[in-house]
Structure 1
Amino acid sequence: MKASSSPAGPAPLAPADNSPPPSRRGAGARTRGLLLDSARRRFAYDGYAATTVRDIADDAGVNVALINRYFRSKEGLFEACLKAVIDELVHAAGAVADLEQIPGIIASHTAGVVATDGPRDALLLLLRSSGDERTEEMRTGLLRMFSERLASVAGWRPGDPDGDGLLLRAQLVLSVAFGITVLRASPGLEPLASATAQDLAEPLRELVDALLTRR
């Protein structure tokens, strides 16, 4: 009689893995991205005070409780939006190598992108205040960095005896960029409202040349 084989022992236990499955992680990242996109548009066009977390959640099509899960609060969500904008604009500032590029970069950002209006939203968001001291420092720091970057392309250096004048001129150029953005957000103000980046580039080139070219 053939001896029966002994039953196999229990399989060894795999190490515990408490991380969420990939599908859950992917869903979480997608939800977070939807909330950021929705909040960015709301904060940019309606302002911080007028925007509610329910507005943001409804636009994103998710439960409002998820804002607290991913961002802790409305203030945390605003800060996350501002950090994302800072990353985008710092990247754009790094691309500026000479004065000839400045009009085109300003034109493309103030005109926005037809499909998403991403660059224009970014500039509008920088004009909004949450009243939170930390986010205000971030916002002011970015504006200072941008104006110094513009001035440095024109030849400004810290400690330059004539530096304040050139930095002021760079801040005026930056002010024009924000002014264009605000006015284009007002429907019906033609021809500015529907001007393309190409339409804006030439007058901006004249402005940059008048303010930032040293003679």
Structure 2
Amino acid sequence: MTTERRRRDSAQTRQDLLDVARNRFARHGYAATTVRDIADEARVNVALINRYFTSKEGLFRACLTFAASDVSREETATGPAEIAARLAHRLGSSLDDRRQLDALLLLIRTSGDERIDDLRRSVLRSLSEKLAPGGSGEALLRSQIVLAAAVGISLMRAALDLQPIASATEDDLREPLTDLIQSLLR
């Protein structure tokens, strides 16, 4: 009797861990999520978390980095109209894709761990500075208001199902977002 060994795919295992961890950290928070929970749901040995990410904090950092890069794609746009169009596209996408909500929750949910919260603030500050060239004073405040609006829209759509914003399409969102962003990022 021979047993067939399942071929290991380290890239897929790493991605599975990231997907499960991102969801658990977003839903339950950093402190309430254990590496055992993550490993069990990903159906892997808990030691692989240390192998791929060094620690729970390293895994959280990887999730946060992914969330920030996912959100920051809009900030590479060249001007307010393009930023608004990209945000409208992103926010108007299918709510069945929980990755967007998870990414935003990761960026705003406190963890109870000061180092993790410092990391989160650093990522949000960096995103704000990308929106506000020069990144100080009123320009930075204005870019943070744009980020807050994007987070709020996403939460109202996905978590609260508040109408009419919950069913708004990309086309429905584009003009109001353009007005908001152009008035803030002048």
TM range (shorter): 0.7 to 0.9
Is the alpha carbon distance of 1:203 and 1:52 closer, same or farther for their aligned partners in structure 2, counting shifts above 3 Å?
same
Find the structure with the greater CA-based Rg.
1
How far apart are the structure 2 equivalents of 1:195 and 1:50? Answer: 34
Whether the 8 Å CA contact 1:112–1:119 is kept in 2: the answer is: no
Whether the 8 Å CA contact 1:112–1:118 is kept in 2: the answer is: no
Match of 1:150? 131
Residues 161-191 of structure 1, C-alpha deviation per residue, up to 9 Å, x if partnerless? xx62333222211111111222223243222
Q: Does 2:159 align with 1:186? A: yes
Match of 1:37? 19
Greater alpha carbon shift after TM alignment, 108-117 vs 183-192: 108-117
Secondary structure in 2 aligned to 1:49? coil
Match of 2:59? 77
Instruction: Choose which of 37, 44, 47 in structure 2 pairs with 1:62.
Output: 44
Whether the 8 Å CA contact 1:103–1:208 is kept in 2: the answer is: yes
Is the alpha carbon distance of 1:124 and 1:107 closer, same or farther for their aligned partners in structure 2, counting shifts above 3 Å?
farther
Whether the 8 Å CA contact 2:24–2:38 is kept in 1: the answer is: yes
Which stretches in structure 2 are left out of the alignment for 5+ residues? 1-6
Q: Does 2:76 align with 1:103? A: no
Is the alpha carbon distance of 1:108 and 1:51 closer, same or farther for their aligned partners in structure 2, counting shifts above 3 Å?
farther
Correspondence list, 1:1-215, <5 A: 24=8, 27-94=9-76, 96-113=77-94, 116-152=97-133, 157=134, 164-213=137-186
Is the alpha carbon distance of 1:134 and 1:113 closer, same or farther for their aligned partners in structure 2, counting shifts above 3 Å?
farther
Aligned residue pairs total 180
Is the alpha carbon distance of 1:89 and 1:176 closer, same or farther for their aligned partners in structure 2, counting shifts above 3 Å?
closer
What is the aligned-residue RMSD (CA, Å)?
A: 2.7
Whether the 8 Å CA contact 1:71–1:77 is kept in 2: the answer is: yes
Whether the 8 Å CA contact 1:148–1:170 is kept in 2: the answer is: yes
Aligned residues with identical type, % of pairs: 50
Secondary structure in 2 aligned to 1:55? helix
How far apart are the structure 2 equivalents of 1:177 and 1:89? Answer: 10
Bigger proportion of residues as helix? 2
TM-score if structure 2 supplies the norm length? Answer: 0.78
TM-score if structure 1 supplies the norm length? Answer: 0.69
Relative contact order higher in (CA < 8 Å, ≥ 6 apart): 2
How far apart are the structure 2 equivalents of 1:80 and 1:55? Answer: 17
Is the alpha carbon distance of 1:191 and 1:91 closer, same or farther for their aligned partners in structure 2, counting shifts above 3 Å?
closer
